[in-house]
Amino acid sequence: MFYQQGDVLIICQPEIQGKEFNCDGKVAEGESTGHSHCFENPSNVRFYRKDNSELFIDVMAPSILKHQTHGQIKIPTGKYQIKIVREYDHFSEEIRNVKD
């Protein structure tokens, strides 16, 4: 199971990987707009980083993920990995992150 908000994918995981760190609730920031994907109440979420790139979260109580243009979604209690949607450009033959 997964959830999507714009270019952000929230994928259910059986276990958390990485080291816990303090976070203000922001899981992604738009490259072109400056808008951000941010948990309304970050105290309900624990954040983990693996190898300084992969982001995992442990949602301890149902939490709202907000965004200025994509609206909000409710993420249920559980363990998740946060990823950015990728696309393939057939002309340049490149795989790249979708820019929000």
pLDDT of res. 99:
55
Give the integer Cα–Cα distance in Å for 54 and 56.
7
How many Å is the Cα radius of gyration of the chain?
A: 14
pLDDT of res. 13:
95
pLDDT of res. 96:
47
**Residue 31 clears pLDDT 80, i.e. is over it:** no
Structure tokens at 53: 């790139």
Structure-model confidence comparison of residues 90 and 39, the more confident one: 39
Alpha-carbon torsion 64, 67, 68, 72, what sign? negative
Single pTM value for the model: 0.81
Give the integer Cα–Cα distance in Å for 82 and 2.
10
Could you give the percent of the chain with pLDDT greater than 70? Answer: 81
Which neighbouring-strand residues pair with 39? Answer: 65
Mean pLDDT of 67-78: 91
CA angle 44, 65, 20 (to 5 degrees): 45
Mean pLDDT of 11-36: 87
Burial of residue 89 (CB within 10 Å: 0-12, 13-18, 19+) is exposed
